[in-house]
Amino acid sequence: MAHVWEKSYPPGVRWDLPFSPMSIPDFFDHAVARWSTHKCVDFMDKTYTYAEISDQVHRMAKGLQDLGVGPGVHVGLYLPNCPQYVISFFAVQKAGGRVVNLSPLDAERELRHKIEDGDIDYIVTLSLNALYPNVAKMLGSTRLKKIIVSGLDEVLPFPKNFLFPFARKKEIALWPVDNRHVPFKKLVRTEGKYTPHPVADPAAEVALLQYTGGTTGVPKAAMLTHANLTSALQMFDAWVGGGDKPLLEEGKERTLVVLPLFHIYALTAVFLRCFSTGSEMVLHPRFELEAVLKDLARKKITVFPGVPTMFAAINNHPNVRNFDLKSLKYCGSGGAPLPVDVMEKFEGMTGCKLSEGWGMTETSPAGTSQPLVGQRKKGSCGLPLPGVLIEIVDVDDPLKLLGVGDTGEICISGPNVMKGYWKNPAATAEAFAGGRFHTGDVGRIDEDGFVFITDRKKDMILSGGFNVYPRNIEEAVYEHPSVAECTVIGVPDEYRGQSAKAFIRLKDGAEPFTFDELKAFLGDKLAKYEMPVGMEIRKELPKTIIGKLSKKELVEEERLRFEATRAEAKGP
């Protein structure tokens, strides 16, 4: 395709970016030296400078090394958004270890799998009943050696009357004083004289194991190198902060960080980017709409990255006009396709462009983004970022390259793409067939270089010989004025093989409608073979940890329902 997208780049942004990958410890030191006196973290109104965070990082690095953390040692972070995550992430890197991100919502089976598969010897967590007991179960039954436990008032203490949003007093967990438990405060009270670990080759040394694929099967860990992460940062910096007229000013922005830091989207595109640009991070442990709106207005937030459901929730808040959101300069949406209706309403209300991007855990997660100036195309996730090569291959023949306008599987290459899957050479070989990473997303590139994602390869519905893409149906349903959220899945159909079914959450106060009324509304928007065969209106739709609509629970419900119906029809 000869980099057809370059002609659509904003002025001053170049695709052949001269990358200078570095190690995470070097990146951290560079950021602290540059922004030393600037505010780094704001957590529940208590703020800390880059220098203060750096001091805690070095002290913890020494404490970790005293425990035995060094090259080849894996440390799991089982934490929500909090200062302890910020400190621990960089401290592990400084000690020479490797971070393994863990989701606080992991079920016991998932957590156990990640500890064993990820070779985790130490885990850092908080003394909450929602967290600590889950890890405690792993002592003695897995390879886990020690748990590093932090109280809510340690290291970066809160006011005496402070109550953690999801940790009332009754939810504080008790933990024993023994040689398998290490107080977090003990690690950060060392003298800080750790032994630096030089990273000889940032492109070869793995900094992070980031699990992915949990929604479609057994989670696999993407091996992300120091160069993967820092190259992705340079891509984002060139796109958002580069060009002839940069939208953002280094050292002067304030970013609301509500996306979970253990997720790759928040880790790289938000958390590490704040260090790269000297932004102040206003940390929220989770997305609570009222708290988000209050801080957006009260703290004059300039950068707000989120997922589509967050922007939809803001749009639909009955009193959103009472909050002053005019300080926003840049909002980014990722994690799932952004409905056009949600984007247009948010932009019209705030006056701030909402830029959709696409990426994956395996790409650190740089991929594409809508340009901040110039042409944008509705329904597109944007242009390939600097240094990213996007190619389209035949869905049935992964080695057959397609051309402009052709629909197929999206493949990506670049310095941001993972080294491979941890301890899974077969999955790595399959993913890199032909020397390019196969994303599993289906889409096309148009004549101007804009990428359009039609659907997930595995989400595609094969209905009576037709390829039906749920996103096409979802976009059409979102045009209905009463719809707040919608997700479409393929359900078993004995005649067609599969058919589409829509699950819908209505806007607050909206009148419900019948399935026949929905079909009438969609009549001029969808082909006959795309028309859903069923609809359910629910109070809530299942979501992943980052707030992205999740299909797997609905797919399982429908599978069980189909099997039960078929068994009943057969009789005893």
- Is the pLDDT at 215 greater than 50? The verdict is no
| Cα–Cα distance, 55 to 564 (Å, whole number) | 60
Task: Extract the tokens encoding 391.
Answer: 């190619």
pLDDT band at 198 (very low <50, low <70, confident <90, very high): very high
**Residue 21 and residue 231 in contact, taking contact as beta carbons nearer than 8 Å:** yes
536, 508 contact by CB (below 8 A): no
Q: How confident is the model at residue 165 (pLDDT cuts 50, 70, 90)?
A: very low
Distance CA 40, CA 278 (A): 7
The dihedral through the CA atoms of 390, 380, 281, 284 has a sign that is: negative
Q: What angle do CA 344, 350, 352 make, to 5 degrees?
A: 75
Q: Which of 198-202, 241-245, 340-344, 481-485 is least confident?
A: 241-245
- Residues 525 and 218: their CA atoms lie apart, in Å, by 37
Nearest-angstrom CA–CA distance, 355 and 348: 13
Q: 200: exposed, middle or buried (C-beta count within 10 Å: 0-12, 13-18, 19+)?
A: exposed
Specify burial of residue 459 (Cβ count, 10 A radius: 0-12, 13-18, 19+).
buried
Cβ-contact 87, 55 below 8 angstroms: no
Judging by beta carbons within 10 Å of its beta carbon (0-12, 13-18, 19+), is residue 215 exposed, middle or buried? middle
pLDDT of 161 over the 80 cut = no
The domains found in the chain, sorted by start residue, are: 49-198 (3.40.50.980), 461-570 (3.30.300.30)
What average pLDDT score do residues 171-184 get? 90
Cα distances (angstroms) measured from residue 520 to each of 256, 461, 479, 485, 527: 41, 22, 13, 19, 12
Do 478 and 521 form a contact (C-beta atoms < 8 A)? no
**What is the per-residue pLDDT across 108-141, written as a single tens digit (0 to 9) for each?**
878 999 999 999 999 999 998 889 999 999 999 9
Question: In the prediction, which pLDDT does 572 show?
Answer: 64
Looking at the DSSP bridge assignments, the partners of residue 123 are 76, 147
> Whole-angstrom Cα distance, residue 100 to residue 123?
9
Q: How far apart are CA 308 and CA 469, in angstroms?
A: 19
Residue 294 has pLDDT above 80, yes or no: yes
Sign, CA dihedral 201-84-32-372, equals: positive
- What are the tens digits of pLDDT across the range 357-375? 999 999 999 999 999 888 8
User: With 90 as the cut, is the pLDDT of residue 225 above it?
Assistant: yes
Q: Give one word for 374, left, alpha or beta, with left for phi > 0 and alpha for psi -120 to 50.
A: left
Higher pLDDT, 570 or 312: 312
Cis peptide preceding 365, ω within 30 of 0: yes
Interval 315-337 mean pLDDT: 92
Give the Cβ contact number of residue 513 at 10 Å.
Answer: 17
Residue 71's identity, in one-letter code, is P
Q: Report, as an integer, the average pLDDT of 183-206.
A: 96
Q: Grade residue 169 by pLDDT with cuts at 50, 70 and 90.
A: low
* Residue 568: band (very low, low, confident or very high) from pLDDT cuts 50, 70, 90: confident
SS3 readout for 73-141: CEEEEECCCCHHHHHHHHHHHHHCCEEEECCCCCCHHHHHHHHHHCCEEEEEEECECCCHHHHHCCCCC
- pLDDT class of 214 with cuts at 50, 70, 90: very low
pLDDT in the model for residue 168:
52
Per-chain mean pLDDT for the chain: 91
More confident residue, 568 or 142: 142
pLDDT tens-digit readout, 18-75: 999 999 999 999 999 999 999 999 998 889 999 999 999 999 999 999 999 999 999 9
* pLDDT at 447 exceeding the cut of 90: yes
**Which helix (H) or strand (E) segment is 443 a member of?**
strand 437-445
DSSP symbols for 218-270: S-EEEEEEHHHHHHHHHHHHHHHS-SSS-SS-TT--EEEE-S-TTSHHHIIII
